[in-house]
Amino acid sequence: MEEKIRVSKLLSELGLCSRREADSYIEQGLVTIDGEVVNELGSRAFRHQKIELQSGAKAQQASRITVILNKPVGFISHYDDEQEYQPAASLITPENYFASQLDKARNPRFNTRGLAPAGRLDIDSTGMLVLTQDGRIAKLLIGENSPIEKEYLVRVEGALSFEDLDRLKHGLELDGVVLKPAQVSWQNEDQLRFVLREGRKRQIRRMCELVGLRVLGLKRVRMGRISLGALPPGKWRFVRPEEQF
């Protein structure tokens, strides 16, 4: 017998919003089930029913900001409860805004409330960090089965055999879990290019250790179809409406 499921979970599975956002929209009466408004938290529905966000919810989503930061070394991607290190979000200021002709109508002074990193980047790593107020984008980038590729350039020290290069591509495991297949190739004589579809803690550094390599530098240069490009270290820019991960 088919069971009813929480509407907030169904909305998240459909990629329409995060569960937290769904609860907010339900409270505001901005969700319908088969055309009927639902405004009670914890409401449930069958999978075959038509669940939709109303225009008011879509307008709220359109107003949510997503930015790209070129994170320097020394900043952590998430907030530190002990306040030992500075979070990358502290760099999202008007002074660090990297303006371009494509963004001349955007105002770098915006309400950063709810702006959070969609993914991690170690304190000693640099490059592309996405911060967003939009739960849909966060789920797309860091959800359990995210389809989004993340590309890294990794400076390494040590010798790498053809066999170990193949192991980097597929055959290693971390914490007892076999890693998903990766694209790994030499970029130049001391730098490897990694393309991953997962992001386990310090994954690339640990992968390299397993084949006898020492990582000297690591930079994320692309997430999905959006690249870091010429964004200088410590600077940020808006993700434009026409850009899709």
Query: C-alpha angle with apex 102: 100 to 108, nearest 5 degrees?
Result: 60
69 and 90 Cβ atoms separated by less than 8 Å: no
One of 23, 81, 122, 190 is an active-site residue; which one? 122
- φ, ψ of residue 11 in degrees (nearest 5): -60, -40
Dihedral (CA of 67, 72, 78, 83) sign = negative
239 and 130 Cβ atoms separated by less than 8 Å: yes
As a whole number of angstroms, the distance between CA 29 and CA 26 comes to 5
Known catalytic membership, residue 34: no
Long-range contacts of 211-216 (CB under 8 A, 24+ apart): 211/160, 211/164, 211/165, 211/167, 211/168, 211/172, 212/158, 212/159, 212/160, 212/164, 213/156, 213/157, 213/158, 213/160, 214/156, 214/157, 214/158, 215/154, 215/155, 215/156, 216/155, 216/156, 216/157, 216/190
Q: Which residues are catalytic?
A: 122
